[in-house]
Structure 1
Amino acid sequence: MAPATSAILKMLMILIFTGWVCVWVLYPTNLWRKSWHVAEEKARHTIFGYYGLNFAVFSFPILAVAMVGLIYSHLHDGTSIIRRRKISIPYLSSPIIIRSPLGVLSGAELLMGTLFVLFLAWTFYSRISVDFKKMTPVRSLRLNEWQYKVMKVGTRSGLLAEACLALLLIPVLRGMAIFQLLGLQFETSVRYHIWLGNIMMLFSMLHGAITMFIWGIKHNLRNEISQWQSTGRVNLAGEIGLAVGLIIWITSLPQIRRKQFELFYYTHHLYTVFIVFFLLHAGDRHFYTVFSGVLLYAIDKIIRIIQSRTETCLISACILPCKAIELTLLKPPGLKYSPTSVIFIKIPSISRFQWHPFSITSSSCMENERISIIVKCQGQWTNELYNKIHAAVDSDAGHLMCLPIAVEGPYGPTSIYYQRYDSLLLVAGGIGITPFLSILHEVAYRNGNKKNFATRVQLIYTVKKSQDLSMLNLILPLLQSQSNEQEYLRLKIFVTQEERSSTTLREILPELSLVQTVFFDTKCSKYTMARPESLVLMAAITALSSVIFFASLLCLNNAFLLSENKATDKKNPSWVSDLLIICSFIIATVSSTLATVLFRWRKRNNVIPPVSLEQAKSTERQCIEARCASDKHEIHYGQRPDFHDILSKFPAQTGGSNIGVLVCGPEPMQESVASLCRQYSFDMGAEIRKGSLSFHSLNFAL
């Protein structure tokens, strides 16, 4: 892509987003309220109405950023651009807070979190200070001064929950290219969704508890709690919305989500009920502040559902001694994805509704027709899959068995941050090696095919038992293919719970070779996994949905809303405006669904001949022939890695001045490496300052 086009799109996104942020900063001020009332009155007498103005100012900017971002991602193919550069602000990626309830926090996360907290504080202060100055009495409750002030604190807490709701759904968009533009994994952005959800529920509960407390001390709780006002705030709708939000929040707690995933999964779909009752409670003007996230999530969901309707079949499965399974699926030829991307899979024979995310272990540069993932048996769903495949191995009936699978994705970061570095230090623990496998394959491809891309990599892999080392089967061909003169990948392996005399990787290869492979019948499927919709199409669908929603809203409002007359206090019931928004939203989403289905039907040309058993087995033969490795790779038994020693020597060993440190594994491991990276980054006198360390924490589970 031309640099000028890239710069224009970037600048456009920054300007639109900055303008949207400025609106939110000015939103609670007196200056904004006075100017906004004047603007609404002028717009009320036009065909667009006050609702058109609210949509244009509060909703459209984020929709525009998403559309521009999708076009930018389409033009800026992160898998094909190699551009190594120094990071302009290295401390933003450095860990600042190591041990906290939120985990390891980088400088960028701490900065953005601080700015968001300051924004919430500013919003609350601006609103509450004006309320305390006015001291407008609530006639129906006859509040005294302290009761009035407490009531206003509760009311303004609801506005803070609204601000969190405006951002809540954006981090969990899988294909709409907002957080992906920053090079973030989907799992990482989900963490921000969790933070926003917790903060939103905190303010929502504070809002509801304080309001009902004041009703209670005024002996008016029974009357107020059951009211459905014709205009203004609807009390009963707010209480229903709060109750639904509490159900979603409680079942999302880690203690419940990890043990009762289905309960979490099904109750989480109550978000539709929560959003509807938020609209009925807060009114249409407040709903436009959160509408962009709702529409983007609906479009994202529709596209994912349509994509996952096409099922493919499993080609092969390798059972590793560590009770993990490598699954190989068909993918459309030419489909590209970034390393550390994930796909969501559903196996109807196990569960018709459960979708599970898995890191892709293969590289789209090296595998044109196949895609691989690793499934570690850690729960009911994964154990049932393991039993199915193990039974096929024992009965030698894999070639007669067909295992249909539905696939969503792949989803991954648009920009590949590891390409910025001269050297990579990968630190993995157990199954945490999974997201690194695609990086290692990508680096091998780049080193072999791109003269201007020469990355040195050291992998520190820590496991409890020797059988867990069978995960290395997936990179043994890479170790064998590199020559002594061009050795770019070195391993340091630590087996913590076994004692053994020092050995080499070559000596333990027979133990790693105990892999059972089963090949499945693919004749039952005529299709590969469905190709995700093109980013340009997604931008067009977003634009189409926005236009249809706005046009429907204008038509319905002009047809059904009465012209309000201040002289006679003639007002439309609040529920009418709310119902028209819901109808417009349904019309927009149905139209987008039909457009997506029509486009996919016209381009349904990914029919390919079934893969023969001989073609599938070629992968296994290639791996078996590659089972030799250099004796230079280290294996240590009965000890943990000394990260201080490793980090201090790594810059000198690789000769790199710009080093990326990527960690994926247990939280104590991430904290240990993050602490050392922070120490070396800020200790100007340290020897390691000869190389710049940039810390990145990867996740492999939601």
Structure 2
Amino acid sequence: MPSPRKSVKSFQSASTPLGFDTKAVDQTTPSTWGLFAVMHWLVGAILAFAILSPIGYHVSAIYRYNVALKWNGWFNINPKNKDRFAPGKEMLPANYFFLFFAIPVFTAAVLFSLSKAHFRAGVSHWLHVKPRFLHRLVSVGEILFVLIAVVGNILVFYHSYTFQSTLKKPVLRVVSIALGFSGLYNMVFLALPATRHSFWMEWLNLPWARAVKYHRWFGVATIVMFFVHFVIFFVQFANTDTLADELLPCFNCDIRFENSQGKDAWINVFGELSLLFMLIMGATSFPYVRRHYYATFKATHWLFIPAAFTAVMHYEQIIIWIYVSMVLYIVNRMYSSSTVAYPAALETATALPGHVTQLTFKCSTTYLPADLVYIKVPAISTVQWHPFSIASTPLHTPGLLTTYVKALGHWTNQLHDYIKQCQGEGVEPVVYMDAGYTPPTPMSSSYSSVMFVGGGIGVTPLMGQIMHLLHARPHQDVYLVWHVKTVEMLSQFHGWLRELESVAEANQGRLHLHLHVTQQDISEISIEHDEPVHKFALGAPSGVEARPYSHLSTSRKLVVLLLAFVASGALLFYVRYQQKISKINPAYWPLQRFVEFLVVVVGSFFAYGAAIIGKPTQPLAFAAATELQVRSNPKPLSKDEFVSHFNVKFERANWVQLFGEIKASQPSAETRSVGVYVSGPKALSAAIEAVTVDDALYDVHHEVFEM
């Protein structure tokens, strides 16, 4: 019997958030649908062009002997002056990257922002497919990424080597310079996958957790290229017995002129410092360090700021190469900063048995189930942000967002103790939340059945998606296969499981629950301490009031991006054109490069005001009972009643048998007609992969947790 607090009508006023199921919710007319589709794919073409444009800079037939010559008149360059630093020539590379990289990227951002609400293609579906001939070890996306990166590096190296060879430089020096440009090519794209609000990744439908993997790969390639670049120069200096002269700072040398000992020494010192910062970041980014010493990893990653700055001091054109990445990164930081100026208002915060913490936030903007949120608790740490998956859907609890946190490490254990202490003392917890990142991969409405496979607390990113499907698509068969160690783990979610049944019954949905307990005699509850192990100073900071969470609208994001590009670009053009500072005195070249770096940062931050003015502060109107009200309705079941009611099995699932039964129940054997979403330990993912690897019926997706 459905819950008296619910009815089919009670949810009709809650609209499905755009992006989860475009076929079901898109109201675009056929005449305009084609326009938005063209805009969407045009974004992809522009991004492909942006990837190629840094390569074109090194192709002499494109840049040096073509467009650069045509631009001489733009900047009053004397074509007879062959000096590399002739007046006006400093603007040629700037103009190239502005026209062929900055403008295309900004245009793509605008077009995507305008089209994504009306047309979204599952671009990433085939990127995630793992070819059978490679034994499902790597995906198509990973293969393409490596292929594009390798080809790009080869082309940059080849054309740079070819040009440098024409200058009659020693072979070792030519190789080193070419490697340096290859590293710079990687550096251009290094920060893009790491930005949480990256429209590049959103266009590809790549969640941030997956995209950050490509950031690590770019990081490795960048560091390796720059390290070899340094080693070759080191060997060359050693062979000429000039190590001290070339690699140590000279404080009483003349630094005014090119190729002078003083200027070359300082340029090399800046390069050494940049490489040192990068090596430290690389050393602290190994998986073991990230997992066991996250605070160290996070702190040392801030070295990217001095690493980028000293790189610009080493080579003046680097600021032009990384300008777009800098602006996009700063804009992304502004997006996040605007949402975390105040603590997020909590509807409830509960320390559940089994060291699980439930946080339910009030929201002024909508979200998608399985989105990623970042949480900070100042009482634990003022600098640490930790990612968690959303376990709710606005269709079921509009105005509320819920996440569950299992205490598996130092920070999460402290969170559980903090919430327990707040509960005991009747104090409102102070929690900050940042969200609105790249949405999860759209779940196709063409699936005849959708199967969710969860392991332990790994089920949380699936919880909201299951509830969402039961509301939005009751025609689909929904399977939940959940592996846990103890019955107590399942019983904590007794209310949620009863809600699934109620919603499925109310909407005439087809829900199939398969709950499995793998360690029947072990109880997490019995070993939990009654009192918190950690103690905290409770109370909100003075003058800081919690507000419902809200992130920036699409239009506001565009305004921020436009202002950042215009302000930083105008300042950089003004300072760089005719070298405003160094032409006063050639010895001021370090100040010239410093100011160029500074104006990009300062100019980008001019847009911050547009990000923080006029944000909503009230939660969305509730169109249904709140999560707490719903959960309080079902009558609690005893352990035996719970096991009997949900037919809990004390064994691991027989995957071959289960998938065979699902296959037999399908009305047709169309390719990829059953969506499978897996979230849990790697062993669970491997087991599912082994069963489905040779069956085209299943379209398998794996949730990624590694950061």
Does TM-score exceed 0.5, indicating one fold? Answer: yes
Distance 1:664 1:255 in 2: 22
Distance 1:213 1:647 in 2: 60
**549, 570, 577: which is aligned to 2:568?**
549
**187, 202, 208: which is aligned to 2:230?**
208
| Cα pair 1:526 1:609 within 8 Å, conserved | no
User: Which sections of structure 1, spanning at least 5 residues, go unmatched?
Assistant: 79-84, 138-147, 449-453, 501-507, 565-569, 682-690
Q: Who is 2:111 aligned against?
A: 68
Distance 1:484 1:629 in 2: 21
Corresponding letter in the other structure for 1:70? S
Q: Who is 1:390 aligned against?
A: 420
Answering whether residue 658 of structure 2 is matched by residue 637 of structure 1, we say: no
Q: Who is 1:649 aligned against?
A: 661
Three-state SS of the structure 2 residue aligned to 1:171 is: coil
Structure 1 residues 555 and 189, CA gap change in structure 2 (3 angstroms): same
**Cα drift, residue 609 of structure 1:** 12
| Cα pair 2:342 2:545 within 8 Å, conserved | no
Structure 1 residues 273 and 585, CA gap change in structure 2 (3 angstroms): same
| Cα pair 1:425 1:458 within 8 Å, conserved | yes
Distance 2:185 2:682 in 1: 31
Deviations 1:680-701 (A, max 9, x none): 24xxxxxxxxx3x222221245
**Cα drift, residue 120 of structure 1:** 1.8
**Cα drift, residue 71 of structure 1:** 2.9
Q: Who is 2:97 aligned against?
A: 54
**Cα drift, residue 529 of structure 1:** 3.0
**86, 97, 120: which is aligned to 2:153?**
120
**121, 130, 140: which is aligned to 1:95?**
130
Structure 1 residues 492 and 548, CA gap change in structure 2 (3 angstroms): same
Distance 1:35 1:624 in 2: 78
Corresponding letter in the other structure for 1:45? N
Superposed counterparts of 1:318-397, under 5 Å:
318-332=350-364, 335-393=365-423, 395=424, 397=425
Answering whether residue 555 of structure 2 is matched by residue 536 of structure 1, we say: yes
| Cα pair 2:186 2:221 within 8 Å, conserved | yes
Distance 2:561 2:591 in 1: 26
**334, 344, 350: which is aligned to 1:312?**
344
Q: Who is 2:633 aligned against?
A: 622
**Cα drift, residue 466 of structure 1:** 2.9
Structure 1 residues 634 and 154, CA gap change in structure 2 (3 angstroms): farther
| Cα pair 2:363 2:619 within 8 Å, conserved | no
| Cα pair 1:98 1:675 within 8 Å, conserved | no
Three-state SS of the structure 1 residue aligned to 2:435 is: strand
Distance 1:25 1:582 in 2: 23
Distance 1:339 1:361 in 2: 7
Corresponding letter in the other structure for 1:378? L
Answering whether residue 481 of structure 2 is matched by residue 460 of structure 1, we say: yes
Q: Who is 1:428 aligned against?
A: 454
Corresponding letter in the other structure for 2:98? F
**Cα drift, residue 633 of structure 1:** 6.0
Distance 1:608 1:111 in 2: 43
Three-state SS of the structure 1 residue aligned to 2:292 is: coil
| Cα pair 2:201 2:438 within 8 Å, conserved | no
Q: Who is 1:235 aligned against?
A: 268
Q: Who is 2:75 aligned against?
A: 44
Three-state SS of the structure 2 residue aligned to 1:459 is: strand
Q: CA RMSD in A?
A: 3.8
Distance 1:653 1:610 in 2: 41
Q: Who is 1:292 aligned against?
A: 324
Distance 2:248 2:155 in 1: 33
**7, 12, 35: which is aligned to 2:66?**
35
Distance 1:38 1:495 in 2: 72
Superposed counterparts of 1:442-457, under 5 Å:
442-448=468-474, 454-457=475-478
Three-state SS of the structure 1 residue aligned to 2:322 is: helix
**Cα drift, residue 489 of structure 1:** 2.2
Corresponding letter in the other structure for 2:631? E
Aligned residues: 634
Deviations 1:475-505 (A, max 9, x none): 33112432499452212233333379xxxxx
Deviations 1:323-360 (A, max 9, x none): 2111112112xx22222201111111221121111111
Corresponding letter in the other structure for 2:703? L
Q: TM-score, normalised by structure 1?
A: 0.81
| Cα pair 1:360 1:435 within 8 Å, conserved | yes
Distance 1:607 1:551 in 2: 37
Answering whether residue 166 of structure 2 is matched by residue 155 of structure 1, we say: no
**Cα drift, residue 15 of structure 1:** 3.4
Distance 2:644 2:48 in 1: 55
**Cα drift, residue 252 of structure 1:** 1.6
Answering whether residue 216 of structure 2 is matched by residue 190 of structure 1, we say: no
Structure 1 residues 493 and 99, CA gap change in structure 2 (3 angstroms): farther
**Cα drift, residue 538 of structure 1:** 0.8
Distance 1:485 1:404 in 2: 37
Indicate the larger mover: 157-166 or 220-229. 220-229
Distance 1:439 1:652 in 2: 24
Structure 1 residues 9 and 247, CA gap change in structure 2 (3 angstroms): same
Deviations 1:444-503 (A, max 9, x none): 11035xxxxx22222222223333324643333112432499452212233333379xxx
Deviations 1:575-609 (A, max 9, x none): 35423422431331231123323xx2xx2552579
Q: Who is 2:284 aligned against?
A: 251
**Cα drift, residue 427 of structure 1:** 2.0
Structure 1 residues 13 and 406, CA gap change in structure 2 (3 angstroms): same
Structure 1 residues 359 and 236, CA gap change in structure 2 (3 angstroms): same
Superposed counterparts of 1:550-629, under 5 Å:
550-558=569-577, 561=580, 574-575=589-590, 577-597=592-612, 600=613, 603-607=614-618, 617-622=628-633, 624=635
Corresponding letter in the other structure for 1:178? W
Structure 1 residues 465 and 207, CA gap change in structure 2 (3 angstroms): farther
Deviations 1:209-244 (A, max 9, x none): 222122223221111112586558721111000001
Corresponding letter in the other structure for 1:458? Y
Indicate the larger mover: 574-583 or 190-199. 574-583
Distance 1:66 1:54 in 2: 17
Distance 1:172 1:5 in 2: 31
Distance 2:133 2:330 in 1: 36
Distance 1:408 1:159 in 2: 36
Q: TM-score, normalised by structure 2?
A: 0.80
Distance 2:608 2:123 in 1: 42
Distance 1:49 1:220 in 2: 34
**Cα drift, residue 654 of structure 1:** 3.8
**Cα drift, residue 388 of structure 1:** 2.4
| Cα pair 1:425 1:460 within 8 Å, conserved | yes
**Cα drift, residue 98 of structure 1:** 10
**Cα drift, residue 573 of structure 1:** 6.2
Corresponding letter in the other structure for 1:253? F
Deviations 1:160-204 (A, max 9, x none): 221221111111222242212222222111122122212222222
Corresponding letter in the other structure for 2:66? S
Three-state SS of the structure 2 residue aligned to 1:695 is: strand
Corresponding letter in the other structure for 2:168? T
Structure 1 residues 31 and 572, CA gap change in structure 2 (3 angstroms): farther
Three-state SS of the structure 1 residue aligned to 2:203 is: helix
| Cα pair 1:311 1:528 within 8 Å, conserved | yes
Structure 1 residues 539 and 320, CA gap change in structure 2 (3 angstroms): same
| Cα pair 1:63 1:296 within 8 Å, conserved | no
Three-state SS of the structure 1 residue aligned to 2:547 is: coil
Three-state SS of the structure 1 residue aligned to 2:395 is: coil
